[in-house]
Structure 1
Amino acid sequence: MDLDSVRGINRRRLLGLGGLAAAGVVAAGEPLVGSRSGHAVAAGQHLPAPTGPDIPPDTRPGGAYDRYVAKLAAEGKFSGVVLLSHKGRTVLSRSYGMADKEKGIRNHEGIAFSLSSAGKPFYAVAILQLAQQGKLKLSDTVGTHLKGFAKNIAEQVTIHHLLSGTSGLDSPDENVQRVFQSRKEVHKYYKQRARQAKLVGVPGVPDTAHAEAEVTISALIVEAVAGTTYWDYVQENIFKRCGMTGSAFYTRPQWLTDEHIAHPYMTLADGSVVDAVRNLDKGSPYPYELGKNPGRSFIDAPGDGGFATAPDLVRFAHALDDGTVLDRPWADVLTGAKIPHGPASFGAYGIPVSIVNGQWKYQRAGGNPGVSANWDIYPYTGWVGVILGNCDGVPLQEMIGQETQAITGASAGGGGGG
């Protein structure tokens, strides 16, 4: 489906989340930050959980979703935060487990969790902000803004290809054993890896594999055009503008010392569980990420990851709708279906989108050893769902399906992360 085919969505989309900026985000224990619309709820003011026909019973405290998550936590399959918000008001917020066992800090709404791939849409937003300002075009090739790439990549791969996952690029295997010691070291490593990418497919042809190089090259383009690091650009132009005061690209030293960041608890081959950030010599035993430990990264790679609280991800969802982070037409470019992936699922720019029970759902998931993250936006009805976890064994896809069923009445699985 191309962009023209979703023109009819726009009016309905704006109606769905229109009340969000005015209502603000109800986050227990922290002040609310208004969007660019100028509306906010005063610090410390908490609105009661909404009721009525727009609030399905399964989404409410004590409802099916609440009971499901509580059961997972009781069985040791979930540690973290879940949040359901409807038109700016929290319907359900639950926290389970420990953010830092050594310091005795429990998980709560103010805790920031590692996002892994759930943070990748930020690079697409950054690119579209620059396109909105006329500083780049989606039809620009890699070589328009960057040097040092193979001729076929520089001349054939466009920004649109990078954002839509149709670049045809393949990245070399990553050295997951390496322990990084500085932002500069991380930046140099991933910049070099991006230049080692090979063009193995035809740009513009859909492929199920998304190369790491697509993400890194996009972030490098942001840096070349904006004249700052990707991390600083997102902090200033996305997190700050959205009022995401608990979100950042935290470094490992901050991860170790800041009491508002959840530690990832990783299960080893012998069944024991360790704090990954405090045990850099240990790695995951799982075949799909053998030996990986997210704590070894001093800071997440440009274009990837970051940390966010659950209320901050709700704020991000509101900002996409009300023009705070992107003008509305450009927000529609971000979420418009580009590539068909299934009967009712599509690739957008960094965000999988799907049609569930007659309405759109925008979603991004991510995972690492000891890390699970997902956020869902239901634009027609004003719902936002967030799942943030810090242990292994979280059945994330099943949780997403249970959340979707509670909100829409239709079961839908997860995806879009890794």
Structure 2
Amino acid sequence: MDHNASIDRRRLLGWGGLAAAGVVAGTSLVGAQPGHADQAPADDHRIPPDTLPGGAYDRYVAQLAAQGRFSGVVLLSHHGRTVLSRSYGMADREKGIANHEGTAFSLSSAGKPFHAVAILQLAQQGRLRLSDTVGDHLKGFAKDIAEQVTVHHLLSGTSGLDSPAEDVQRVFQSRDEVHEYYEQRARQAKLAGVPGSPDAAHEEAEVTISALIVEAVTGTTYWDYAQENIFRRCGMTGSAFYTRPQWLTDAHIAHPYMTLADGSVVDAIRNLDKSSPDQDVLGKNPGRAFIDAPGDGGFATAPDLVRFARALGDGTLLDRPWADVLTAPKIPHGPGSFGSYGIPVSIVNGQWMYQRAGGNPGVGANWDIYPYTGWVGVILGNGGDVPLREMIGQEMQAITGAPAGGGTGG
């Protein structure tokens, strides 16, 4: 990742969203040739020229790829119609498999909103309340956590919990081992602040505890619940909580290419002994997980994320009032930037933008929803140097016309 993006990655991927990260919609790059796009709808005057094939955003991404700075897929969709779809680089270099629109990429934290959707589905059904405490659904937590921390606190990142350090070197061998480790880690969390007080970064324990509540209420694993009630309901046929054996063998899943301290690049999933030198993800290797932690991650294709975005707005996943509860701004993080339930929301050039990013060694993922105008933007990368923050700014500028040099919060 480039130096500036590396500096701001933690703020970008946390609850601060884009405004807290200081995203700037920069000047478009020119000179690269268009890649492989679907035909854009030419009969709609509402399509900004910069979003079209051959437009500013297309040329910018093509130049990134030509410079070796982007491997992955970008997609722009307007009211469900693909305006721009580009694929660059290799999903599996060893097997010669190229990235394409149907390639599934690791989402990292860009998959965290799924657990918030799951909780709100259960709230909509009357099976839990957002005012319920942890102790209303789970046993064995410390008394102060069980009695004071509510579901709302967990989803909004205001629990006051402090998570213990993660063992990033551990190589997991089963779903049960992953579940046991993250549940134990969540139970070791301490109440370090006052529940309800704003926090700039979501604690991992909040995500895990939310997933454990889903499991306690439904009697199934979080992974299986989300697969059935989110992915399947949306028609996300290329998306799942894939395991490491599937990551190694399934030709439609992109491998993460991680940059090492000496500048060399390795397939992280095939080199579990190698670790990232990046300070934001120091010592990590995403392949060491057998499956993503409960409440986190997952894999998705770009078209599937568009389906997810549209399902949030058309009643497929949540009735409209509950969808509004999901995205309503709750915690201010900066001018025009707020935390909601799992999805940072920002005011960009006079319109709302819902956004979630994720990053890991060899992984860069982001999806943006512009509900006022029907746009959805997806960026999925499988290289360690993807300038995700910069790419989000360029996409935002192409869609909203936000001026170069302008942040998301105005």
Structure 1 residues 289 and 375: alpha-carbon distance in aligned structure 2, compared to 1, 3 A threshold: same
Q: TM-score, normalised by structure 2?
A: 0.89
Query: Residues 277 and 414 (structure 1 numbering): CA distance in 2 closer, same or farther, change over 3 Å?
Result: farther
Partner of 2:367: 375
Q: Which residue of 2 aligns with 1:239?
A: 231
Give 2:22's aligned residue: none
> Are the equivalent residues in 2 in contact too, given 1:398–1:413 (CA < 8 A)?
no
Structure 2 alignment gaps of length 5 or more: 1-35
Once the two structures are superposed, residues 262-310 of structure 1 have per-residue CA deviations (whole angstroms, 9 ceiling, x without a partner) of 0000011111100000000101011222210000000000000000000
| Paired AA for residue 257 in structure 2 | Y
Q: Does 172-181 or 284-293 show the bigger shift?
A: 284-293
Correspondence for 1:319 among 285, 304, 311: 311
Residues 193 and 135 (structure 1 numbering): CA distance in 2 closer, same or farther, change over 3 Å?
A: same
Inter-partner Cα distance in structure 1 for 2:168 and 2:303: 31
Amino acid across the alignment from 1:331: A
1:137 pairs, out of 114, 126, 129, with 129
Equivalent residues of 1:82, 1:95 under 8 A apart: yes
Q: Does the residue aligned with 2:334 lie in a helix, a strand or coil? A: coil
Q: Answer with 72-81 or 280-289: which moved more.
A: 280-289
What is the CA deviation profile of residues 214-237 of structure 1, one whole-angstrom value per residue up to 9, with x for unaligned ones? 000000000000110000000000
* Structure 2 residue 113 is the aligned partner of structure 1 residue 113: no
Question: 1:330 maps to what in 2?
Answer: 322
Alignment match, 2:79: 87
Alignment match of 1:147 (pick from 139, 149, 152): 139
Write the distance in 2 (CA, Å) between the matches of 1:234 and 1:64: 37
What CA distance in whole angstroms lies between the structure 2 residues aligned with 1:52 and 1:185? 52
Q: Distance in 2 between matches of 1:387 and 1:287?
A: 23
Instruction: Look up the SS of the partner of 1:315 in the other structure.
Output: helix
Q: Which residue of 2 aligns with 1:402?
A: 394
Letter in structure 1 aligned against 2:297: G
The structure 2 residue matched to 1:352, chosen from 340, 344, 349, is 344
Q: Which residue among 292, 303, 325 is the counterpart of 1:300?
A: 292
- Tell me how far 1:414 sits from its aligned partner: 8.1
Q: Decide whether aligned partners of structure 1 residues 414 and 171 sit closer, same or farther in structure 2, where only a CA change above 3 A counts.
A: farther
Letter in 2 for 1:287: Q
On the 8 A contact 2:40/2:53 being kept in 1, the answer is no
Superposed displacement of residue 352, structure 1 = 0.2
What whole-Å deviation, never above 9, does each CA across 1:24-66 have from its counterpart, x for those lacking one? xxxx99xxxxxxxxxxxxxxxx885344320000000000000
Higher RCO (CA < 8 A, seq sep 6+): 2
Equivalent position SS for 1:175: coil
The match for 1:32 is none
Alignment match, 1:271: 263
Which residue is 1:23 aligned to? Answer: none
- Are 2:209 and 1:217 aligned? yes
1:99 lines up with 2:91 in the alignment: yes
Cα drift, residue 413 of structure 1: 5.8
Q: Secondary structure at the match of 1:91?
A: strand
Structure 1 window deviating more from structure 2 (208-217 vs 304-313): it is 208-217
User: Is the aligned partner of 1:52 residue 2:72?
Assistant: no
Q: Residues of 1 paired with 2:357 and 2:182: CA distance? A: 22
- Cα distance change of structure 1 residues 48 and 396 upon mapping to structure 2, 3 Å threshold: closer
The answer to whether the Cα contact below 8 Å between 1:400 and 1:413 also exists between their aligned partners in 2 is no
Q: Would you say how many aligned residue pairs link Structure 1 and Structure 2?
A: 372
Correspondence for 1:339 among 331, 341, 346:
331
* SS state at 1:354 partner: strand
CA displacement, residues 122-146 of structure 1 (integer Å, 9 cap, x when unaligned) = 0000000000000000000000000
Structure 1 partner of 2:8: none
**2-structure distance, mates of 1:92, 1:73:** 16
One-letter code aligned to 2:203 = A
Distance in 1 between residues matched to 2:257 and 2:178, nearest whole Å: 23
Paired amino acid for 1:269: A
Shift of 1:158: 0.2
Tell me, yes or no, if the aligned pair for 1:365 and 1:414 is still in contact at 8 Å.
Answer: no
Distance 2:40 2:305 in 1: 20
Give the structure-1-normalised TM-score.
0.87
**1:180 and 1:298 in contact (8 A); partners too:** yes
Q: Is the 8 A contact 2:120 2:322 kept in 1?
A: yes
User: Residue 205 of structure 1: SS of its match in structure 2?
Assistant: coil
Matched, 1:258 2:250: yes
Identity of aligned residues (%): 83
1:208-266 per-position Cα deviation (integer Å, ceiling 9, x unaligned) = 12110000000000000011000000000000000000000000000000000000000
- The secondary structure found in structure 1 opposite 2:73 is strand
Alignment match, 1:25 = none
Contact 1:47 1:89 in 2 (8 A): no
Pair 1:168 & 2:160 matched: yes
Q: Distance in 1 between matches of 2:319 and 2:311?
A: 10
Check if 1:289 corresponds to 2:302.
Answer: no
Indicate yes or no: 2:138 matched with 1:177. no
Q: Deviations over 1:121-172 (max 9, x none)?
A: 0000000000000000000000000011100000000000000000000101
